[in-house]
Amino acid sequence: MGKVLGLIGCGIWGRNILRDLIQLGQNVAVIDPSEANRQEALGLGAQATWAEKPADFTPSGWIISTPAITHFEVIQQVLPDGVPIFIEKPLTCDRSQAEALLDTGREDIFVMHNWRYHPGILMLADLVKSKELGDLKFYKSNRCNWTSPRSDVDSVWTLIPHDITIARAMLGYFPKPKAAVVEKYEGVERGMTALMGDDIPCVLEVSNRYADKRREVRLHFSEGVAVLKDEKVDYLEIYRGNDRSKPEELILEKREFSKVSPLLSELSAFIKFLEGGDQPISDLEEGVRVIQIIDELKKLANT
């Protein structure tokens, strides 16, 4: 069959992954128990499909896009193949499972945090490093919408990993969990507001109870504010002014960036790694730390 990437899971997001892999010129074999999903995969250009992993098939790398609750089990199944693994976030939905993966000693397991590749997020991180707007004083993000197509785990597990990793990209480290509150319905967490960080406060809000979809990231600096309104815009809103500036003194700049698909960028990074290049941004250790932080925030919220 030649050099082939293995994609496990071809549901809503898996199809996007397959589409972009085909666009990147990759040969892809798909594993999915759903006959409908396998037919969809063939229509998108998959080279082969199976309901289960064939014993004699070892790809150049695995990409896992199955329901979050199955991630640990699927990783265990493909670990013996000894090839790099790129798995959708969250790494697992259980702290002990995530930490157990560290014991494997594998350094070729990576987590797909596509917001780390978003050109707007990269531009925000550059603003922090350059100090163009002074020192970073405050971070806030909103990731809110109505309900979720995922029913295997609660909304906190599927939404807040993005914002934890974005905060890390801005600060250069993971902020310390300080406090959290959750919104529960019949025992299921549908939202969380988390406070993190010591010197630079970080407020992260995620919810499945907003009628309008929100994906805002805002940074407050000593000499201005920078805002990424959502994932669809191709510019940052930059307001120049300090905490004492009058409204009429504010200067607004819309700084444009190239609207490159973050998913395409992270898949390209994985392919380049398979070809001998640098590793993707989020390694196993970082993926585990994200799970530990979510676990800590959930415990804070329920204490």
Structural domain spans, the chain: 5-113+264-281, 115-261+293-301
Residues 6+ apart with CB under 8 A from 56: none
How many C-beta atoms lie closer than 10 Å to residue 100's C-beta?
Answer: 15
* CATH classification number, 115-261+293-301, choose in 3.30.565.10, 1.20.1240.10, 3.30.360.10, 3.30.365.10: 3.30.360.10
Euclidean distance between the first and final Cα of the chain, in Å? 54
Query: pTM to 2 decimals?
Result: 0.94
- Annotation: CATH topology of 5-113+264-281: Rossmann fold (3.40.50)
Residue 26's contacts (CB-CB under 8 Å, 6 or more residues apart) are: 5, 271
Concatenated DSSP letters for 124-177? Answer: HHHHHHHTTT-SEEEEEEEEEEE--S--SS-HHHHHHHHHHHHHHHHHSSPPPE
Of 163, 220, 221, 227, the C-alpha closest to 196 is 163
CA distance linking residue 76 with residue 179, whole number of Å: 33
- From first to last of its 303 residues, the chain has per-residue pLDDT tens of 568 999 999 999 999 999 999 999 999 999 999 999 999 999 999 999 999 999 999 999 999 999 999 999 999 999 999 999 999 999 999 999 999 999 999 999 999 999 999 999 999 999 999 999 999 999 999 999 998 766 778 989 999 999 999 999 999 999 999 999 999 998 899 999 999 999 999 999 999 999 999 999 999 999 999 999 999 999 999 999 999 999 998 999 999 999 999 999 999 999 999 999 999 999 999 999 999 999 999 999 998
Per DSSP, the chain holds a count of helices (H) and strands (E) of 8, 14
- 166-192 per-residue burial string, b: 16 or more CB within 10 A, e: under 16: bbbbbbeebbebeebebbeeeeebbbb
Dig out the tokens for 112 from the structure: 């797909």
Is residue 55 packed enough to be buried (19+ CB in 10 Å), middle (13-18) or exposed (0-12)? exposed
